[in-house]
Structure 1
Amino acid sequence: MSGGKFITVEGTEGVGKSTNIAFIQKLIESRGVELVISREPGGTPLAEELREILLNKRDELFDPTAELLTVFAARAQHLNSVILPALAQGKWVLCDRFTDATFAYQGAGRGLSLDVIAGLESIVQQGRQPDMTIFLDIDVRTGLERASARAELDRFESEKIEFFERVRAGYKSRVNSRPEKFLVVDAGKPLEEVQSSILTKFEPLLDRWLAR
């Protein structure tokens, strides 16, 4: 293969991204593929520092535009330091969130201009998009109950339910605009059923990629 594949996993709070990314990782690595696991925001020491700035609660209001620019600053560092070099070496990259999250959280959630986000996307990514995105979908209230039972909530997780309803709608809008790019999985079902669905939907695509 002349280059690696770039796969992202998206979803609102409590969808089980970490658990299911580990499942997808095993599935890919079982085929002998060299895989890099990363996350956004984050993925490099500097980008992880920016992640802490984004997630930590503070008394000062985090201006939405400042938040958006911080997200893309972390993405630029991550993309150029980790993702692109790995893909150029023929490695695959499996990433917990990417720019779809920005359109959902900062766009639909915060109400920022989608055109502005698309402009920043163009500057930072230079056309580089995931080869496939697995969207783990769940009822917002169920997801938040799961998240609150897991650990102390960060700044984003502490938002009101209406914010996450907008975020989920933003994700669904992304899916509807490019259905060929997404594999949609109902993450509200028991874990065994969720992972069975991932296997059923993702394995045929994996087979086609590896056959080329």
Structure 2
Amino acid sequence: MSDDGPLDLPAPTRDGGTGPGVFIAFEGGEGAGKSTQVRLLCDWLTAGGRAARATFEPGGTPAGAAVRAIVLDRAHTGLAARAEALLYAADRAQHAAAVLRPALAAGEVVVSDRYIDSSLAYQGAGRTIPLDDVSAISRWATEGLRPHLTVLLDLPPETGLARARGRAEADRLESESLEFHQRVRATFRTLAGGDPDRYLVLDATRPVDEIAAGVRARVAALLEAGA
């Protein structure tokens, strides 16, 4: 990978490409609390008069919902690792075209539960596909779109899996081995360490309100700086 950053992608700008919006992604392992923090952040932004849109991957579009059904269904345990990576890339291409770019062009703050880093961590490290390969297809799928800010909710996989499995039957990824999820966590942390100005890493074992306060402080600074 390039020394310029984990994906070597241009950041979205406010004077071209993606328009005046702000793009924030939440990343982390299973049970880290991403969906909760996405909702809390959007509620806070809306209360402050900002146009905010919550979205997610995989499945944030009608076509993506069909992809989600494949990649998370335990019936598809024989799915080849590269086929899985391409399915996630297809979901992300549609998500970027149909949701992310239009919302950013309209000046919205777009908050996504997962984005490219999840593919690097799960399909790259988890499935042991070279990260450069996963990066390349992600770059192509999104036409170089990356977040202004990525919030990594860091959690030991043992804790996260216990949370996830306690609320519903484990899906296809949640059913993977502890070693798989340890590789996923390590890669998330490496990505964040390689581009610290664009990441906020928070301890996901902390209380929900404390995590939300940390997110709000960083997002407020981002908005004040004009992204």
CA distance in 1, matches of 2:100, 2:216: 24
Aligned counterparts of 2:49 and 2:109: Cα–Cα separation in 1: 11
Query: Given the alignment, which residue of 119, 123, 127 partners 1:102?
Result: 119
Which of 3, 26, 40 is the matching residue for 2:43? Answer: 26
Q: Which runs of 5+ in 1 are unaligned?
A: none
Measured in 1, the distance between the counterparts of 2:75 and 2:22 equals: 38
Q: How does 1:49-64 map to 2 (within 5 A)?
A: 49-58=66-75, 61-64=78-81
Find the aligned partners of 1:192 and 1:80 in 2 and give their Cα distance. Answer: 33
Structure 2 gaps of 5+ residues are 1-13
Q: Contact 1:14–1:147 (CA<8 Å) still a contact in 2?
A: yes
Following superposition of structure 1 onto structure 2, how do residues 46-195 of structure 1 map, counting pairs within 5 Å?
46-58=63-75, 61-195=78-212
Residues 107, 114 of structure 1: 8 Å contact kept: yes
In 1, Cα distance between equivalents of 2:156 and 2:76: 30
Q: Does 1:9 align with 2:26?
A: yes
How far apart are the structure 2 equivalents of 1:177 and 1:133?
A: 12
Tell me the number of residue pairs that the alignment of Structure 1 and Structure 2 aligns. Answer: 210
**SS class of match (1:77):** helix
Cα offset for 1:193? 2.4
- The percent identity for this pair of structures is 39
Question: In structure 2, how many angstroms separate the alpha carbons of the residues matched to 1:25 and 1:60?
Answer: 35
Q: CA RMSD in A?
A: 1.5
Cα deviation, residue 112, structure 1: 0.3
Cα distance, 1:137 vs structure 2: 0.5
Select between 18-27 and 93-102 the one with higher mean Cα deviation. Answer: 18-27
